[in-house]
Amino acid sequence: MASASGSFCGVCEAQDVVKEAAFWCPECNEGICTSCEKHHRSSRGTKHHEITSMNDYKQLPPIIASINQYCPEHDKKYQLYCSQHEQLCCPLCITTNHKKCDLLAIDEIVKTSRNSALFEIMEQNLKEMKNNIDRIVEDRRQNLEIIKQQRQGFQTDIKEMRAKINIHLDKLEQEIQQDLQAAEQKVMSQINRFVQKVSDHEKTIDELQNNIAATKRFATDLQTFFGGKMFEAKIQEEEKFMTSLIEDSGYNKYTYNVN
């Protein structure tokens, strides 16, 4: 039994010759070079061994390639399978660890396993799992698409709402400005009327001042006496007017009533 290094011919290695293996014999659990292959095929002990090309052997997953036909503990070929321990057994294993176990001949199990539907079922299961994964991923992708569309919908709504609010605010602003202008206009005409009225009286007062000054300088005593009475009466009228101005609401300051 050579070590299963795999890359070199086991037979040559045993004779200290290093030669690359071109074939693999699972029965011998070793590589075979092209020169040794002929002998391996014709020799009585090995001619029934099913060898495979090294390329095919290397395609095997390592976990499968590591399953060999020899018990590593006793270096004997496996012959039986213990279903209780789920273990392959060589004749020595049986006498030590599986004395009371139900054992099946490996040749029989192996024959049925290649023909059983197990691999088809496993492949089918894996295919279904992948389909499920595809479906789940597609479902999430669609979910995301819906979320995206909803977000865009909300953004459009917000923009429309914003535009409506802007229009409404523009209208409000316009109305308030019109109201303000109208109010100012109203106050302006009231104040103009008031100022006009007051300046009329101012003229009267100017006249009285001039007349009194002239009377003082140029009038006779009699004229001064009667004129004084007349002026007094007129001044009283003007005083009444001034009092009415102060009491009148027209004298109050105008302000805006902004709510």
Using CB under 5 A as the criterion, which residues of the chain lie in contact with Zn ion when the complex forms?
Answer: 9, 11-12, 19, 25, 27-28, 33, 36, 46, 49, 71, 73-74, 82, 84-85, 90, 92-93, 98, 101
Residue placing its CB nearer to Zn ion in the complex, 55 or 181: 55
Burial of 155 from C-beta contacts in 10 A (0-12 / 13-18 / 19+)? exposed
CB of 133 to Zn ion, least distance (A): 39
Smallest distance, Zn ion to C-beta of residue 43, A: 9
Residue 76 burial by Cβ neighbours in a 10 Å radius (0-12, 13-18, 19+) = middle
CB of 105 to Zn ion, least distance (A): 14
Please state the closest distance from residue 31 (CB atom) to Zn ion, in A.
Answer: 8
Residue number with CB closer to Zn ion (79 or 215)? 79
Q: Which one, 43 or 243, has the nearer CB to Zn ion?
A: 43
Given the complex with Zn ion, which of 5 and 244 has the nearer CB atom?
Answer: 5
101/205 with CB nearer Zn ion? 101
Q: How many CA atoms lie within 13 A of 115 on its CB side?
A: 5
Q: How far is the CB of 37 from Zn ion (least distance, A)?
A: 8
Min. distance of Cβ 121 from Zn ion in angstroms?
27
Closer Cβ to Zn ion, 98 or 201, answer by number: 98
